Amino acid sequence: MLTALGRWARPRLAVPVWSSGIGLARTLLALGTLGTLLATDPTALMSPLSNGVVPPVCHGMSRAGIWCVAPDLQLGRWLSIAVLLVVASGWLPRFTAIPHWYVSWSLIANATLQDGGDQVTGVLTLLLLPICLTDGRRWHWQRPPETREPDTKAVVARVALLLIQVQVAVLYLQASMAKLGVREWADGTAMYYWSRHPSFGSPPWLRPVTDLVTHSSVGVATLTWGSVALEFSLAIAIVLGPAAKRLLLAAGLLFHGFIAADMGLISFYAGMAAALLLALLPVGHHIRLPAIPDSRQPFDNPEGVHVVSRTLTRQ
């Protein structure tokens, strides 16, 4: 039995986890936090609490956060921005992984104004550490060297990716199940109220569409129960096949895109889009980029262009 299990697992573990798909997820995580820091003044992120605590919050382990270590908030902001720019570029994931996690963790440990996207980013950057620290590539957009036999680094990275997939599944399962305990979600009317919420409701340019849909009992029930059904489907996607995962990945990205447009939660979209990529993309999946013809090749040499294209594709 163990021999059969080993024969089944060996070729799967030999597929390198490190891919441009993982790289795209890291870039999205970095861009989500980067957008927050560029668009929001640190004094707003560090709004005083109702109990009189003046942020940044610096007690216990949170004292190690960058907002507590830096002598002033603006310095902490720009140091974080510098780290996030490097991470988003994809340069040396092995060396930028810990700074990326540190910046993400510092925001949720020290700031008082944060959203679920910041928390998702903090968790994912932590779980990505074993994958990134075993990544020997110069850029996270490159293909790793091909191997026929798995080594310790490959096993560690694969286990870390599995933990991320389980975490994302639990996140969506909790989100879908918790909604059913709220009367408005259970009776199918929740989206009527959320679309009209004074803080998180639909923006003026989208209100004609959302009002039209949510004024219909069929429309509001479809939006409300459809959200719950999709979140539950994303929770069980971990045990589904590749075709179902591709479909749910597209549906999940559209779903969170609608939330971003409707409620303005842009950093939340970045975090959840990254989570979906990590959970649903095939292991080792590479984002295909269009081949750029070599200008040194004559334009009247089709075979030369094909050779260049194939060469770039393999790189």
- Does residue 95 contact residue 120 with C-beta atoms inside 8 Å? no
Specify the pLDDT at position 308.
36
Specify the pLDDT at position 100.
98
Specify the pLDDT at position 21.
93
217 burial level (CB within 10 Å; 0-12, 13-18, 19+): exposed
| 28 occurs within a structural domain | yes
Specify the pLDDT at position 16.
83
Give me the sign of the Cα torsion angle 260, 96, 101, 278. Answer: positive
| 290 occurs within a structural domain | no
Specify the pLDDT at position 300.
44
Please check the confidence at residue 261 and state whether its pLDDT lies above 70.
yes
How would you label 280-297 residue by residue, b for 16+ Cβ within 10 Å and e otherwise?
Answer: bbebbebeeeeeeeeeee
- The whole-angstrom separation of Cα 72 and Cα 78 is 11
Specify the pLDDT at position 199.
81
Element at 248 (helix H, strand E):
helix 242-263
Please check the confidence at residue 306 and state whether its pLDDT lies above 90.
no
The CA distances from residue 287 to 19, 26, 31, 56, 194, in Å, are: 8, 13, 18, 39, 35
| 219 occurs within a structural domain | yes
| Averaged pLDDT, 288-311 | 46
Specify the pLDDT at position 257.
95
| Averaged pLDDT, 286-315 | 47
| 5 occurs within a structural domain | no
Which candidate, 72, 115, 97, places its Cα nearest to that of 18? 97
Containing structural domain, residue 138? 16-280
| 161 occurs within a structural domain | yes
Please check the confidence at residue 304 and state whether its pLDDT lies above 70.
no
Task: Give the pLDDT band of residue 2 (cuts 50, 70, 90).
Answer: low
Sequence length of the chain is: 315
- The whole-angstrom separation of Cα 299 and Cα 221 is 57
Domain total in the chain:
1
Specify the pLDDT at position 303.
42
Tokens matching residue 100: 């990326």
| 301 occurs within a structural domain | no
Specify the pLDDT at position 149.
64
Specify the pLDDT at position 171.
96
- The whole-angstrom separation of Cα 119 and Cα 28 is 14
Please check the confidence at residue 312 and state whether its pLDDT lies above 60.
no
Q: Over pLDDT 70: what percentage of the chain?
A: 86
Task: Give the pLDDT band of residue 315 (cuts 50, 70, 90).
Answer: very low
Please check the confidence at residue 71 and state whether its pLDDT lies above 60.
yes
Please check the confidence at residue 13 and state whether its pLDDT lies above 70.
no
| 257 occurs within a structural domain | yes
- Top-confidence residue, 58 or 276: 276
- Does residue 9 contact residue 104 with C-beta atoms inside 8 Å? no
Specify the pLDDT at position 61.
92
Please check the confidence at residue 139 and state whether its pLDDT lies above 90.
yes
Q: Name the one residue in this structure whose structure tokens are 């003044």.
A: 41
| Averaged pLDDT, 35-53 | 86
Tokens matching residue 29: 């995580």
Please check the confidence at residue 1 and state whether its pLDDT lies above 80.
no
Q: Name the one residue in this structure whose structure tokens are 């590479």.
A: 286
Question: Average pLDDT of the chain?
Answer: 86
| Averaged pLDDT, 163-174 | 96
Please check the confidence at residue 104 and state whether its pLDDT lies above 60.
yes
DSSP state of 134: T
Which candidate, 181, 93, 168, places its Cα nearest to that of 137? 93
Q: Which residues pair with 91 in a beta bridge?
A: 139
- Does residue 203 contact residue 167 with C-beta atoms inside 8 Å? no
Q: Over pLDDT 90: what percentage of the chain?
A: 64
| 9 occurs within a structural domain | no
